[in-house]
Structure 1
Amino acid sequence: MGSSYDYVVVGAGSAGAVVAARLSEDPDVTVCLVEAGGPPPPAELMPAAVASLQNDPTTDWMFEGDPGGVGKGLVGGRMMVPRGRMLGGTSGLNYMAYVRGHPGDFDAWAAGGAEGWSYAEVLPYFRKAEGFVDHPQLHADLPAHGTEGPVGVSVREPVLPAAAQFVDAAGAAGLKQGDYNGQQREAPEGVASLFQTTTRDGRRSSTFHAYLEPVLDRPNLTVVTGAVVERILLAGEPGVVRATGVAYRTADGPEEVTSSVEVVVSAGAIGSPHLLLLSGVGDRAQLGDAGVECVVELPDVGRHLKDHLHTPLMFAADGIGETMTEVALSLGPDALRAPAGPLPADPADDASLPPELQAVKAEAERRLGEWFTTGRGIASSSLYDAVAFFSTGLGDPHTHDAQIGFLACGYTPPIWEAVFRIPPTAFFEDPATFLDPTCGQIVLLANPVQPHSEGSVTLASADPGVPPRIELNYFDDPHDVRVMVAVLRKALEIAAAWPGGGLGDPVIPPHLARVHGHAAGSEPSDELLEDLARHYALTVYHETSTCRIGDVVDPQLRVLGVAGLRVADASVMPNVVSGNTNAAAIMIGEKAAELIATEHGVRLHQMVR
Structure 2
Amino acid sequence: MGEAADFVVVGAGSAGAVIAARLSEDPTTRVVLIEAGGAPPPAELMPAACPVLQVNPETDWMYTADAGGAGLGLAGGRMMVPRGRMLGGSSGINYLAYVRGHPGDFDSWAEGGASGWSYDEVLPYFRKSEALVTSGEVPIDAEAHGTDGPLGVAVRAPVLPGAQAFVEAAVAAGIPAGDYNGRDRGGPAGLVSLLQTTTLAGKRASTYHAFLEGKPEIRPNLMVLTHAQVTRIVIEGEPGALRATGVEYVDENGATQVITARNEVVLSAGSIGSPQLLMVSGVGPREHLEDVGVACRVDAPDVGQHLKDHLQFGLFVPAPGLGVSMVSMGIAMGPDALRAPAGPLPADPADDGSLPPELEGLRAEAERQVTEWFTTGSGLASSSLYDASAWFSTGLGDPHTHDAQIGLFACGYNADIWQGVLRVDPAAYFADPETALSPTAESMLVLANPVQPHSEGEILLTSPDPREAPDIRMNYYDDPHDMAVMIAVVRRALDIVDKLREAHGVGEVQVPPALAAKHGHTPGAEMSDALIEDLARHYSFTVYHPTSTCRIGSVVDPDLRVLGVDGLRVADASVMPNVVSGNTNAAAIMIGEKAAELIARDHGLTLDEFVGGPA
Q: Normalized against structure 1, the TM-score is what?
A: 0.99
Aligned to 1:186: 186
How well do the aligned residues superpose, as a CA RMSD in angstroms? 0.8
Secondary structure of the structure 1 residue equivalent to 2:503: coil
* Distance change (3 Å), C-alpha of 1:287 and 1:52: same
> Partners of 2:174 and 2:184 in 1: how far apart?
14
**Distance in structure 2 (CA, Å) of the matches to 1:124 and 1:118:** 11
Look up the match of 1:27: 27
Counterparts of residues 108-507 of structure 1 (less than 5 Å): 108-214=108-214, 215-252=216-253, 253-498=255-500, 500=503, 502-507=505-510
CA–CA distance in structure 1, aligned partners of residues 573 and 186 of structure 2: 23
CA contact (8 A) 1:24 1:220 kept: yes
Q: Aligned partner of 1:286: which letter? A: H
Which letter does structure 2 place at the counterpart of 1:561?
G
What is the rounded CA distance, in whole Å, between the counterparts of 2:594 and 2:236 in structure 1? 27
User: Residues 66-109 of structure 1: CA distance to partner in whole angstroms, max 9, x if unpaired?
Assistant: 00000000011110100000000000000000000000000000
Partner of 2:6: 6
Alignment deviations for residues 309-339 of structure 1 (CA, whole Å, 9 cap, x no partner) = 0001000111110111110000000000001
SS of equivalent to 1:209: helix
Identical aligned residues as a percent: 65
- What is the SS of the residue equivalent to 1:125? helix
Aligned to 2:544: 541
Question: Is 2:535 the counterpart of 1:527?
Answer: no
User: What is the alpha-carbon distance in structure 1 between the residues aligned to residue 133 and residue 246 of structure 2?
Assistant: 40
- Equivalent pair of 1:102/1:399 in contact (CA under 8 Å): yes
Q: Which runs of 4+ in 1 moved over 3 A?
A: none
Displacement of 1:188: 2.4
Secondary structure of 1:40 counterpart: coil
Q: Aligned partner of 2:565: which letter?
A: V
- Contact conserved, 2:53 with 2:93, CA < 8 A, in 1? yes
Aligned residues: 609
CA distance in 2, matches of 1:183, 1:199: 22
Alignment counterpart, residue 605 of structure 1, candidates 599, 605, 608: 608
- Amino acid in structure 1 at the alignment position of 2:242: V
> 3-state SS of the aligned residue for 1:500?
helix
Matches within 5 A, 1:46-61: 46-61=46-61
**Structure 2: which 5+ residue stretches go unaligned?**
none
How far, CA to CA, are the matches of 1:167 and 1:320 in structure 2? 13
CA contact (8 A) 2:132 2:147 kept: yes
Q: Deviations over 1:540-598 (max 9, x none)?
A: 11000000000000000000010000000000000000000000000000000000001
Aligned counterpart, 2:581: 578
| SS of 2:406 mapped into structure 1 | strand
Distance 2:229 2:217 in 1: 20
Structure 1, residues 215-258: CA drift from partner, whole Å, max 9, x if none? 11100000000011000000000000000000000232111101
Q: Following the alignment from structure 1 to structure 2, what is the Cα–Cα distance between the partners of residues 530 and 445?
A: 15
> Secondary structure at the residue paired with 1:387?
strand
Contact 2:20 2:31 in 1 (8 A): yes
The aligned amino acid for 1:405 is: G
CA distance in 1, matches of 2:420, 2:218: 39
User: One-letter code of the match for 1:98?
Assistant: Y
C-alpha separation between the residues in 2 aligned to 1:10 and 1:217? 18
What is the CA distance between 1:521 and its match in structure 2?
Answer: 1.7
CA contact (8 A) 1:102 1:186 kept: no
Using the TM superposition, give the Cα deviation of residue 424 of structure 1 relative to its aligned residue in structure 2, in angstroms.
0.5
Partner SS for 1:286: helix
Do the aligned residues in 2 keep the contact of 1:184 with 1:191 (CA within 8 Å)?
no
Matches of 1:161 and 1:434, distance apart in 2? 20
2:320 touches 2:506 (CA, 8 Å); kept in 1? no
SS at match of 2:80: strand
TM-score by length of 2: 0.98
Deviations 1:317-374 (A, max 9, x none): 1111011111000000000000100000011111110011000000000001100110
